[in-house]
Chain A
Amino acid sequence: MTSVRVAEILSAVWADSPDGSGLPALLVRACARALPVSGVGLALMTEKGPAGTVAATDGAALELEELQFTLGEGPCVDASQSGRPVLQPDLAATAPRLWPAFASGALAAGVAAVFAVPLRVGAIRVGVLDLYRDSPGALDLADLTEALSYADAATQLLLHLQTLATADAAPLESLSVIDDRAEVHQATGIVSVQAGIGLAEALVLLRARAYAEQRPIGEVARDVVHGTVDLAENGDVR
């Protein structure tokens, strides 16, 4: 049930880092190699806006992320808010009108085209994957499709890292694609209400619980949906 391409990307990144360190940096580097772009950046996003840079292949990619973090405007911010990719093949022609402050900084940093792909799980804003080019030009359909696969892989990676930060002594055996059957998302909603937390934290809590108990997340989610377990109480209801 996993997306073949996304699984391939994740396992290739994992193979380069058996101890699990520096995975985001490896992912953006692999993405920049796979596509006709100059560099790639990965930023965390929340409902409030950019929340920090996770990885960047080079100085201009880093500048791209930092600008949007500082200014709170730009293609990545718009992509995260709308949930749709923002494709700007010629920044000089379009950006000054759309994001005046961002445009001058980005162009000065040598960024001529930006392709921002939102990383979302339903209503959860996980982050944005930003691809840039130092000369104007669009990505073709095959490239965009590949960029979407890298975005999916980046989403899995960020969720994985957030889960590791939460779960105690979580196993680091592999990077698997998230089980995204309906129960997992329903349970995310239920846990967010039960524990009085946001959906993003609820999903991490659910995943951390599955890791800690060494059970598939789908099973834990089913228990939550059927009301046999309440993660907010950290114990069984019945």
Chain B
Amino acid sequence: MAREQRLAQVFVELADTLVEEFDVVEFLQTLTERAIELVDTDAAGLMLDNQRGRLQLVAYTDESTRLLELFELQNREGPCLDCFGTGLIIPNIDLADARSRWPVFADAALGLGFSTVHAVPLRLRRQVIGALNLFAVDHSPLSDDHLAVVQGLADVATIGLLHERAVRDQVILAEQLQAALNSRILIEQAKGVLSARAGIDVAAAFQLMRSHARRSGESLTTIAEAVVSGSLGAADLQPADTP
């Protein structure tokens, strides 16, 4: 499929998720996955500011990205933090050349096999509410077109967060972000519950919950709540026999 066509499809898909009962974590998760697909990168992570001096990881495409992003938060260095601090896009960073800038982060990312990183801010007027990190294994830089696509996705993420805020009256951004982060915690708890019940690892548990959410049309948060409360068991989450 032509990239333009796929791009249009992705934006329609994301716009479609912005319905009244939409799930913030699921929305941001889909967004990170589409971002790496659209601009040919290998991994992505999205961090949000809880408005009270703390960045937290809300969506990530795989376990290695999650570790890397946590590493970045823990060591207080890395492209996502710089991007968040300045509000500026940090594109096409060759990690091998970035050792002096972020010694701990660059080594960790190189160690995971990545060679390039990009960071894009989530901006709301003059306020920066988060950042999106993209990682690539190879060295090919992103074109200006690609970077525009990534910034567009980051803007859609911001719009999504604001939209969720707008559909509930009297709710402030800090509260909205806290609720999103709490949903993330709930999902992690559900991953643990499901992995222990089904005897699978937490990544596989997450995949089961997500595909069930897709099939049933329910939000990931709803599925996680059902897993935690016990009303949805491991057997219920297995896909039906495919035709």
Q: Which residues of A line the B interface, CB within 8 A? A: 1-6, 83-85, 87, 120-124, 141, 144-145, 148-149, 152, 180-182, 185-194, 199, 225
Binary per-residue interface labels of chain B (180-193) against chain A in the complex, 1 for a CB within 8 Å, 0 otherwise = 00101111111111
Instruction: Verify B228–A3 contact, CB threshold 8 A.
Output: no
Given contacts A84-B171, A120-B182, A182-B66, contact A188 B189 (CB under 8 A): yes
Partner of A3, one of B50, B74, B179, B197: B50
Query: Which A residues are CB-close (under 8 A) to B190?
Result: 123, 189
In the assembled complex, B195 has its CB within 8 A of some CB on chain A:
yes
In the assembled complex, B232 has its CB within 8 A of some CB on chain A:
no
Q: In whole angstroms, what is the CA distance A124 to B188 when docked?
A: 12
Q: Which residues of B line the A interface, CB within 8 A? A: 50-54, 57, 66, 70, 73-74, 168, 170-172, 174-175, 178-179, 182, 184-197, 202, 224-225, 228-229
Q: In whole angstroms, what is the CA distance A5 to B192 when docked?
A: 30
Closest chain-A Cβ to B192's Cβ sits at a distance in Å of 2
Query: Which B residues are CB-close (under 8 A) to A189?
Result: 188-196, 228
Instruction: Verify A145–B191 contact, CB threshold 8 A.
Output: no
Q: In whole angstroms, what is the CA distance A147 to B228 when docked?
A: 28
Instruction: Verify A83–B191 contact, CB threshold 8 A.
Output: no
Instruction: Verify B172–A6 contact, CB threshold 8 A.
Output: no
Instruction: Verify B225–A123 contact, CB threshold 8 A.
Output: yes
Given contacts A4-B53, A4-B54, A145-B51, contact A185 B189 (CB under 8 A): yes
Q: Can you name the residue of chain A whose Cβ is closest to the Cβ of B60?
A: A182
Instruction: Verify B168–A185 contact, CB threshold 8 A.
Output: no
Query: Which A residues are CB-close (under 8 A) to B168?
Result: 84
Closest chain-B Cβ to A199's Cβ sits at a distance in Å of 6
Instruction: Verify A182–B188 contact, CB threshold 8 A.
Output: yes
Closest chain-A Cβ to B223's Cβ sits at a distance in Å of 12
Nearest first, the 10 closest Cβ-Cβ pairs linking A and B are A189-B192, A185-B188, A122-B185, A193-B196, A4-B53, A189-B193, A186-B192, A122-B186, A3-B54, A190-B192
Instruction: Verify B179–A84 contact, CB threshold 8 A.
Output: yes
Query: Which A residues are CB-close (under 8 A) to B229?
Result: 123
Q: In whole angstroms, what is the CA distance A4 to B179 when docked?
A: 19
Q: In whole angstroms, what is the CA distance A3 to B48 when docked?
A: 13
Closest chain-A Cβ to B46's Cβ sits at a distance in Å of 14
Q: In whole angstroms, what is the CA distance A194 to B193 when docked?
A: 9
Q: In whole angstroms, what is the CA distance A192 to B54 when docked?
A: 28
8 A-B pairs in the complex with CB atoms less than 8 angstroms apart: A1-B74, A3-B50, A84-B175, A123-B224, A124-B189, A145-B174, A189-B192, A193-B196
Query: Which A residues are CB-close (under 8 A) to B51?
Result: 145
Closest chain-B Cβ to A226's Cβ sits at a distance in Å of 9
Given contacts A1-B74, A84-B171, contact A225 B202 (CB under 8 A): yes
Partner of B178, one of A2, A141, A148, A194: A148
Q: Can you name the residue of chain B whose Cβ is closest to the Cβ of A195?
A: B196
Query: Which A residues are CB-close (under 8 A) to B179?
Result: 83-84
Query: Which B residues are CB-close (under 8 A) to A199?
Result: 189, 193, 228
Q: In whole angstroms, what is the CA distance A4 to B50 when docked?
A: 11
Closest chain-A Cβ to B80's Cβ sits at a distance in Å of 13
Partner of B172, one of A3, A145, A152: A145
Instruction: Verify B193–A185 contact, CB threshold 8 A.
Output: no
Q: In whole angstroms, what is the CA distance A151 to B174 when docked?
A: 12
Q: In whole angstroms, what is the CA distance A145 to B172 when docked?
A: 8
Query: Which A residues are CB-close (under 8 A) to B171?
Result: 84-85
